[in-house]
Structure 1
Amino acid sequence: MQNDHSLNLLKARPTVVIDRVSMQYQVASTHAETATTSNRLSRLRRGASTITVHALNEMSLVVSHGESVGIIGRNGSGKSTLTRLISGRTRPTSGSIFASDTPIMLGVNAALLPDLAGDQNVILGCLAMGMDRRTIAEKFDDIVEVSGLGDSIYLPMKSYSSGMASRLRFAIATSVDPEILLIDEALNTGDAQFRERSRSRISQLRDHAGTVFLVSHSLGTITEMCTRVIWLDGGDLLMDGDVETVTSTYSRFTSFLSNGDHASAQELRYKSRESLIATQVLERTTGRRSA
């Protein structure tokens, strides 16, 4: 039986389809059941062994035009891994990801040239996204307005705080009305005016049939800016639904953990995962057969 959310997805044209995707990493580990100084030194000489880390367990999602999807979860839950997969920066270990357009990734670690002034970085960033110089000139004032930098736009980037740099990244990335935009924690910095400007800009993107993915530890930011939320934990997709239901459940989960009630937290986690209606990707959803 399909819920209302699933039915709405069938009516809208998908922008991102995640079909049975999983992600694993091989990493070095010096862990051993028994460890003495001598065998630690021996492992140092021959090198560490490797273990498999399951960053994301198999999941499927369909995201459509007009949706703003919040991605929440504890550190190490797989949030950033998922956004890297959607952006195409990382290939999944298994499964396929389909996108209607090239996703634009905006994150606090996005590369900028520190020795150049902010206005010069605006030009370079916009050129890299395919704008011509006339369009950049037309959009320049709006970009500065959204960033809230004022005259600081003419100062070297290396003089900016991390919050100032994040705001400029956001303003540049959203200046092209991208069909798919991924934001990783960039909106957690800035004053109330910037939060209002960024919320207004995301609303404009949705109005123009865009899709936004927002990773944030701030449930307030998620509630203000998203129309749908997914909850990841330990690489598992636990919930996918409306903002109020998912955020309130996640708040209960973190409250249990904060109070040391791990049994109740694990029970809530189990019930959430068991209640999840798994998405099944059909050939007609993607327009071609999944890998």
Structure 2
Amino acid sequence: MSAAMEPRHAALQPAVVVDEASMTYAVRSAEHIQGGGGGRRLGRASGVRTSRVEALKPLSFTVARGESVGVIGTNGSGKSTLMKLITGQMRPTTGHVYATSTPVMLGVNAALVRQVSGEDNIRLGCLAMGMTTAEAAAKRDAVVELAGLSEQALQLPLKAYSSGMASRLQFAIATSVDPDILVIDEALNTGDAQFRERTRRRLDDLREQAGCVFLVSHSLSTIQEMCQRVIWIEQGVLTMDGRPETVTRGYNLYVRAMANGDEEEGREMLKRKQGELLRQRIAWTGGQRPQGTTNG
């Protein structure tokens, strides 16, 4: 896959290309009318109304191999929708998403078995990701070390774990397979400084192995610690894309203005940031779209 990239990525090989992708949902709801007589008001369905919600407006960007990219935005801004497009859970309404391999999604709701022990969850999780029994056994100690769980905790059923312990175990299992493209959705917001440092080292390992990482989080400190680049999506629009300190500063100013009731100031700030962003146009080598792993 070869696509033209922004100047700062010009010498790098793209791992993910989002090419004018958008997402519009059709939302159906029953319409009701009030009627009846004798002083009684009766409600009955008169039909089904369909409304369209534009969750993501067309956006384009490339992510190079070896990059770790933070994705931020207020609730309902379109972050999770974008991650579903990247991981292939949904097809874009318009545009295309390309990836050099199938992305692996890690989220706080990923399937772990609450009734069995942490030890068994490690084995089952590794087997579910396609490892052999011998490979799963070989990964066991590395998973335990990254998760920071004691031998005693490993023998307890997962339902006895705190949310932080479960999240750490989940991250450690998911990253044990060295995925080429990893998407992490709110999985790192729990954990102490030691776990964050272990996570940072693990993400560094993934980048060195030529993969790329997307991290979706409301924790700006986590984003700044873990990521080399940040994308800010607001109201379905790509608003900023750049260095973590620059993007998080702009986002903080916007959130603070909205929280203080200065909505007009916040809207003006958002409009200005979106106007300042240099929109990327994907130019494919030879003018032909790739035939590799695509979505849409």
Output the CA distance in 2 between the equivalents of 1:188 and 1:244. Answer: 19
Cα-to-partner distance string for 1:177-223 (whole Å, 9 max, x where unaligned): 11100000000012222112112211221122220000000110000
Q: Which residue of 2 aligns with 1:50?
A: 50
1:100 counterpart = 2:92: no
Output the CA distance in 1 between the equivalents of 2:29 and 2:76. Answer: 17
Q: Which residue of 1 aligns with 2:125?
A: 125
Cα-to-partner distance string for 1:140-189 (whole Å, 9 max, x where unaligned): 01101111121212221222222222111100111111110000000001
Decide whether aligned partners of structure 1 residues 148 and 264 sit closer, same or farther in structure 2, where only a CA change above 3 A counts: same
Q: Which residue of 1 aligns with 2:206?
A: 205
Aligned AA (1:122): I
Decide whether aligned partners of structure 1 residues 154 and 241 sit closer, same or farther in structure 2, where only a CA change above 3 A counts: same
Output the CA distance in 1 between the equivalents of 2:28 and 2:251. Answer: 32
Q: Give the C-alpha shift of residue 130 in structure 1.
A: 2.1
Bigger shift: 151-160 or 162-171? 151-160
Q: Which residue of 2 aligns with 1:86?
A: 86
Decide whether aligned partners of structure 1 residues 118 and 47 sit closer, same or farther in structure 2, where only a CA change above 3 A counts: farther
Cα-to-partner distance string for 1:75-133 (whole Å, 9 max, x where unaligned): 00001111111111111111111111111100001112222222222122212222222
Q: Which residue of 2 aligns with 1:164?
A: 165
Q: Give the C-alpha shift of residue 37 in structure 1.
A: 9.4
Output the CA distance in 2 between the equivalents of 1:105 and 1:273. Answer: 28
TM-score by length of 2: 0.89
1:239 counterpart = 2:240: yes
Aligned AA (2:20): R
Q: Which residue of 2 aligns with 1:261?
A: 262
Output the CA distance in 1 between the equivalents of 2:35 and 2:141. Answer: 62
Q: Which runs of 5+ in 1 are unaligned?
A: none
Output the CA distance in 1 between the equivalents of 2:91 and 2:136. Answer: 32
Q: Give the C-alpha shift of residue 23 in structure 1.
A: 0.6
Aligned AA (2:112): L
Q: Which runs of 5+ in 2 are unaligned?
A: none
Decide whether aligned partners of structure 1 residues 248 and 234 sit closer, same or farther in structure 2, where only a CA change above 3 A counts: same
Decide whether aligned partners of structure 1 residues 186 and 42 sit closer, same or farther in structure 2, where only a CA change above 3 A counts: same
Contact 1:117–1:153 at 8 Å: present in 2 too?
yes
Aligned AA (1:232): I
Q: Which residue of 2 aligns with 1:283?
A: 284
Larger Rg: 2
Output the CA distance in 1 between the equivalents of 2:96 and 2:288. Answer: 10
Q: Give the C-alpha shift of residue 8 in structure 1.
A: 2.7
TM-score by length of 1: 0.90
Contact 1:98–1:286 at 8 Å: present in 2 too?
no
Q: Which structure shows the higher helix fraction?
A: 1
Output the CA distance in 1 between the equivalents of 2:10 and 2:96. Answer: 19
Contact 1:185–1:216 at 8 Å: present in 2 too?
yes
Output the CA distance in 1 between the equivalents of 2:266 and 2:251. Answer: 10
Q: Which structure shows the higher strand fraction?
A: 2
Q: Which residue of 1 aligns with 2:252?
A: 251
Decide whether aligned partners of structure 1 residues 36 and 218 sit closer, same or farther in structure 2, where only a CA change above 3 A counts: farther
Decide whether aligned partners of structure 1 residues 256 and 234 sit closer, same or farther in structure 2, where only a CA change above 3 A counts: same
Output the CA distance in 2 between the equivalents of 1:136 and 1:111. Answer: 17
Q: Which residue of 2 aligns with 1:141?
A: 141
Identity score, percent: 51
Q: Which residue of 2 aligns with 1:27?
A: 27
Aligned AA (1:9): H
Query: How many corresponding residue pairs?
Result: 283
Q: Which residue of 1 aligns with 2:223?
A: 222
SS of residue matched to 1:55: strand
Bigger shift: 96-105 or 279-288? 279-288
Contact 1:229–1:241 at 8 Å: present in 2 too?
yes
What root-mean-square deviation, in Å, do the aligned CA atoms of Structure 1 and Structure 2 show? Answer: 2.3
Output the CA distance in 2 between the equivalents of 1:262 and 1:163. Answer: 35
Cα-to-partner distance string for 1:33-86 (whole Å, 9 max, x where unaligned): xx9798x9635x346522111111111110011111000000000011111111
Q: Give the C-alpha shift of residue 244 in structure 1.
A: 1.1
Contact 1:24–1:54 at 8 Å: present in 2 too?
yes
Q: Give the C-alpha shift of residue 10 in structure 1.
A: 2.3
Contact 2:31–2:47 at 8 Å: present in 1 too?
no
Q: Which residue of 2 aligns with 1:59?
A: 59
Output the CA distance in 2 between the equivalents of 1:24 and 1:83. Answer: 15
